Amino acid sequence: MSEIHFEALRADLDQLSVPRGEVRHLRWLVPPLAIGRTASGDFEVFIRGAEIHAVSPLVKRHLQHGEWRPEAGGAQFSANRIVLPSAQHFASVAALIAIELVRSGIATSGGIQKAFSDVEPIIEMAIRRGALSENIVIGLIGELSVLRQLLLLGKSRSNSMLRYLNFWQGWQEGTRDFRIGDHSIEVKTTRSESAIHQFSGLHQLEPMQQPSGAMEHLYIMSFGLAASSVMGETLPSIVNSIVTLLSTAAEGSDLANEFLRRVSLYGCQSGGGYAHQTMLGWAAYGTRYTHTYIPRLYRIEDPAMRLLRRDMLDDTFVQAKGLSFTVHFPDQVSAFNPVPKWESELDRVIKFSDVI
C-alpha cells in the first residue's frame, strides 16, 4: 500500500460506488485502515482498533469510536470513524488522509495513535471545509429554537405555515434573523453563563426605518448554550422536531423540504452547510446542548438599554464601519426588559403586527 500513489488511490475511490440501503462499501488499504462510502454518498475513514484521541476540538467532534458493519449481515468491527461529505472532491481528501496515515506508520505495531496524531492537522483542514464550526452550530440551534416556537403558535391557527416559516430570515446572509411585520429579532448565542454576546457592527443594534415608513421594533433574543453529555438537544433533534411540525401542515412534505433546504444554506459562506438527511448521524452534530440560563428577549427601544450609538463616535477617530464589539446584557435592564416570558411576547408581536 505504501507504494500506491495518490492518483491511483483517488481513481480507485472514484470507482467506490454509492450503495443502496443500510450498507457501506469498503476498501481496506492496510489491516487497520479502510475507506468506505455510505448510501448517502459520504466518504468514511475507518481506523480499526481501540479509541484514539484527538487534540483539535474540531477533529474531536468528528471522531467517533464504535462498532461498524461493512454491509448488511457482515461481521462487526471496532474502529474510529471520520466522516467526510459526499462532494466528489472529498474523494481526493480521503485519499490524501489515507496515504499520510500509511506513511506515518499506522500499520506498524502500536502505530495507530502516533500516525493519527501526525496526520491530525491535515484531517482538521479537511473537516474545516466540510462541516459547520461549533459557533455556527449553536447559532443555528438558537435561531431554530425561536422558529420552532413560532411554528407552534402557527399550528394553533388556520393560516399557512409557510408564512410562519418565512418569518425566519437568518438562513440568508445580511438580514435580520427574524422579521415579523415591523418587528425584528436578532438571535445571539453564547457558551457563557451570562448574556455576553459579540456584535459585528452597530447595525445589529440600530432600529431601521421600514418600507412602510414605520420605525423597526428591534429585539435581541439571548441564549446561553453549553455542551452536555446527559441532557439538552442536538442540532439533528431540533431539526427533526421542526420537520415533524411542518409535515402536519396542509403543505406537508413540500414545506418540510423547503425548510431543510434553508437549513442547509445556513452558514455555508464559511464552508459546507448542514445537510440534515445525510449528516444527522455525524458525530460532529451529536453534541447535546443545554441552557446556561433562561432564554431572554430584550427590547432595544427601552431607554434603560445602555448601548453604543453611532452619534457617540462623531467626536472620535473611531469609524463605525467595520466596528465589532462585545455587549454584556444584565439579567434585568428594567421592570419589563427582558420581557417576562419570551414565548408570550412572540405571540403578542404576531397579533400586533397583523401578519396572520
Average of per-residue pLDDT across 237-248: 93
pLDDT value of position 131: 73
* Digit-coded pLDDT (tens) for 46-93: 999 999 999 998 898 889 999 887 765 578 889 999 988 777 778 888
Backbone angles phi, psi at 263, to 5 degrees: -60, -40
Query: Which letter does DSSP use for residue 312 in this model?
Result: G
Q: What CA–CA distance (Å, rounded) separates 347 from 283? A: 36
Structure-model confidence comparison of residues 1 and 220, the more confident one: 220
Closest CA to 354 of 149, 203, 159: 159
Confidence grade of residue 3 (pLDDT, cut at 50, 70, 90) = low
* Digit-coded pLDDT (tens) for 298-309: 999 999 999 998
* Digit-coded pLDDT (tens) for 103-152: 999 988 778 999 999 999 998 887 776 678 889 999 999 999 999 999 99
Distance from chain centroid for Cα 348? 29
Amino acid at 257: N
Burial of 250 (0-12, 13-18, 19+ CB in 10 A): exposed
* pTM of the shown model: 0.81
pLDDT value of position 118: 94
Give me the DSSP letters along 22-85: S-EEEEEEETTEEEEEETT--EEEEEESS----SSHHHHHH-EEEEE-SSTTPPPEEEEEEEE-
Q: What angle do CA 142, 147, 149 make, to 5 degrees?
A: 100
Region at 174 (left for phi over 0; alpha for psi -120 to 50; beta for the rest): left
